[in-house]
Amino acid sequence: MGRKDNKKPRFQKKSFDKAAKAERKVGKDVKYQDVEMKNEKFITYYKTQNILPEEEFDTFVECLKTLLPVSFRITGSRSHAAELRDLMIKEYFPTMSDFEIDGEKIEVPKPLPWYPDNLGWISTLSRSALRKSPQLARFHRFLVAETEVGNISRQEVVSMIPVELLDVKPHHNVLDMCAAPGSKTAQLLEALHANESDAIPEGMVIANDADQNRCYMLVKQAKRLQSPCLMVTNHEAQQFPSIYYSAKDASRSSALRFDRILADVPCSGDGTFRKNKNIWKTWTQGNGNALHRIQLPILLRGASLLRVGGRIVYSTCSFNPMENEAVVAGAIKLSGGALRLVDISNELPALIRKPGLSSWKVQHKDGTFYDAFDDVPEKARKYMVHSMFMPENAAEMNLDRCIRVYPHAQNTGGFFVAVLEKVAQYGALDRSDGLPPQINKDGTVANDDDMDNVDMDATLGVDGEEEDTVESNERKRPAEDESDREPKRLHAESESTTSTPPPTATRTPTVTSIAWQGGESPFVFLAPTNPELIAMRAFFALSASFPTHNFVVRSENENWKTVYFVSTAVRNVITAANSFRLRIVNTGIRVFTRNSNTTTVTATTTSPPETTPTPTPATPTPATPTTTTTKQPIGSPFRLSNEGLSVIGAFVSPNNIIHASLPDIITLLSIEYPKFTQFNGRLQSIFTRIPLGSCIVKFDPAETGDAGEGLVEGCAYEGSVRTPILLPVWRAHVSVSLLLNKAERKSLMHRLTGKELDIVTGLESELPGAAAGAAAGADARAGQAGGEDGETTPEDATVQLEETA
């Protein structure tokens, strides 16, 4: 359950001698470009381990000295990703071939031969080439813009492999044990949402990481996918708690078990030489020896949380058998054969790989190699554990079913992957099937095998101390093309309740249990009988099949502002009997936000003053303008968020969705606050009739209007968008506002028209002098503070346009 009573975790880094600390500091401070790409210890170690044929080894080492190519993945649903892929190929690649820059031949990015649907790409284009060439600079702007909105993810090629081998289906419960920075979590979510006709999959993904700051980075990365099926938690992976849905259930099957688990564990990272030259300076054999004692407990904990028949993928970006085959063999042995390696030779056939090692040696810090633990002198055993050594029955374990990816094979980084299946019971969850769980006051379960209740030193056969080497709780690996900067926490409202929320006649949510650890706000599920929820459901015409009981806020008081939505699978975890053991950092997608003006919108109009004639030619008496104020009620005090539209939109009545033409969509995108009169007659009429508040606008390239009139109104549509899109719009008194931030507008405009968007503020382009200046100031305030994620708030749109109408 993470750290308890402020105690340090069992596998905490040791205090090292001053010389070792000084040596590591030199390695960190040395200038990157001055690093000598040479390390005799590394060469000797891996030649002794016989990881490659002798004739291949020099090529392997030379490849480690070269820069790693840029790689990226096109994300999102398959149809949406395919549209962006086709746009990239059509709009940018034709102008990028057959020329050179400073002697560098420009090569068009190439699809990864083994990644599905040509959605994974690799590029050898250098940064200098991207800066110097106008053709490439345009492509670079495209990559940056689409990355900003989450349509493209910069991700190392080899890190895409584990999720593809995990074989995730929409109904699976998935645990990502060491998830940050989140690129693999995003892949998992895409697999979970593979069935585009199902807006809310049956399964879920719990993304866990031991570093709380990196959990917030993970939230930012995964938030772009707008999935209600994600929960982010903060635990040491080897101490992830057992969760029980019900303490009263007579069956142990009420425990949460996972169908798929990804254990991409902390590792020494010597497969990342090509993007981290400092490893040449800092590498020692002790790195892998120390990390073995963290990695094996993580894999064993994953095995205990996995259901029988489930699949767990273990991976590292290391070449070291201490971190790879030794860990896998140790887990198979210690599980009593409950785990077996899966033959994946027929999966991803275009991926060039080598089989796992069938034998290896363990090197002591003094440089001596040992084949067996019994060969190690008594004094040297304090730095070694039994599981590091090749087991006697290694041949029966089929370790050759592990795969090793080497950089020189396909111009990638180095990686190790093992796919294991749980074929028999292992752990307390399985051994106690049929017995009711006995949950203690602190949330622990009697006779459970949580790793914080197990002496792992005894399990691993540790005779002495951990070897003095790298920090054993260091992070998994350098962030994969993502900033280590901590994102802001999601500010919202939330809490924890029973499976069936009790009815309430007031706005205040009923809370049944909020005593869970973690220091975050509680989760409070809104009762379906909540009057505001009923009104909201009626206003947006949500169908009867929509799971209203999954609306959640993160505030115990009645002034909650933001409403989130979670899937039923996530809700069941939050409301579990001992869910307070979970350190939940974030879950749910924002669907509704309360407006500051919840009752009416005031529209003020000013009539020209009447001139009063005077009997003499003296200066006329100043006339007073006539001001008329009217109030119009808002249809709903909540506005719909773009983040939740992908879920809510599937349940809204078709009669409540406004169909728009391409020119009208372009008007929404390119003008900040367009007036009704700036749209075609049909849309003008609709905006005039509907009540103030949120509405949904739809563009479908395949649709035609009445009397055969195309919704693109004579324009030849050549955009890349082929599937319908839904947009959240706020209808004000005489204007509307598209609730997308500028990055999202820019991306959508490009996909619809092939043009780069330069947003024109409606007020700036139409109002003179001081009014335009005031409008610009209001617009800036809206982008910086008023809206969430840069969205313009409807209040800002209303005030700006109504004051000048």
My answer on whether 258 and 113 are in the same domain is: no
CATH of the domain at 187: 3.40.50.150
Q: Which residues of 485-501 are buried (b: 16+ CB within 10 A; e: fewer)?
A: eeeeebebbbbbbebeb
* 314 within some domain: yes
Q: What is the mean pLDDT of each run of 10 residues along the chain (805 residues)?
A: 40 42 46 78 97 97 96 88 92 82 83 96 84 81 87 95 97 97 94 87 97 90 88 96 72 78 97 95 94 96 96 98 98 95 97 97 95 93 92 94 98 98 85 51 51 50 52 45 34 34 36 44 88 90 92 83 94 89 92 74 52 50 55 79 90 92 93 93 93 93 54 62 92 93 89 76 39 35 39 44 35
Q: Is 180 annotated as a binding residue?
A: yes
Hey, how many other C-beta atoms are within 10 angstroms of the C-beta on 77?
16
Q: Is 613 annotated as a binding residue?
A: no
My answer on whether 125 and 177 are in the same domain is: no
Q: Is 317 a catalytic residue?
A: yes
My answer on whether 228 and 142 are in the same domain is: no
What's the confidence (pLDDT) of residue 522? 82
What's the confidence (pLDDT) of residue 35? 81
My answer on whether 278 and 392 are in the same domain is: yes
What's the confidence (pLDDT) of residue 248? 54
Helix (H, G, I), strand (E, B) or coil at 785: helix
* 352 within some domain: yes
What's the confidence (pLDDT) of residue 323? 98
My answer on whether 293 and 326 are in the same domain is: yes
Last residue of a domain, one of 133, 154, 175: 154
* 210 within some domain: yes
Residue 153 contacts residue 183 (beta carbons within 8 Å): yes
My answer on whether 178 and 136 are in the same domain is: no
My answer on whether 291 and 408 are in the same domain is: yes
Q: Is 349 annotated as a binding residue?
A: no
My answer on whether 79 and 221 are in the same domain is: no
Q: How far apart are CA 60 and CA 62, in angstroms?
A: 6
* pTM: predicted TM-score of the whole model, two decimal places: 0.81
My answer on whether 188 and 292 are in the same domain is: yes
* 365 within some domain: no
* 732 within some domain: yes
* 429 within some domain: no
Residue 404 contacts residue 416 (beta carbons within 8 Å): yes
Residue for token pair 């995108």: 669
Q: Is 183 annotated as a binding residue?
A: yes
Angular region, 503: left φ>0, alpha ψ -120 to 50, beta rest? beta
Hey, how many other C-beta atoms are within 10 angstroms of the C-beta on 433?
12
My answer on whether 186 and 76 are in the same domain is: no
Residue 179 contacts residue 189 (beta carbons within 8 Å): no
My answer on whether 185 and 107 are in the same domain is: no
Q: Which two tokens stand for residue 33?
A: 């470009």
Q: Which two tokens stand for residue 497?
A: 């309740």
Last residue of a domain, one of 154, 169, 187: 154
* 608 within some domain: no
Residue 159 contacts residue 165 (beta carbons within 8 Å): no
| Number of structural domains found in the chain | 3
Domain extent for 744: 653-704+720-753
My answer on whether 146 and 161 are in the same domain is: no
* 355 within some domain: yes
Residue 725 contacts residue 748 (beta carbons within 8 Å): yes
Q: Is 181 annotated as a binding residue?
A: yes
What's the confidence (pLDDT) of residue 637? 83
Q: Catalytic residue among 63, 229, 317, 695, which?
A: 317
Q: How far apart are CA 771 and CA 539, in angstroms?
A: 35
Which residues is 152 bridged to in the sheet?
A: 74
Last residue of a domain, one of 154, 186, 208: 154
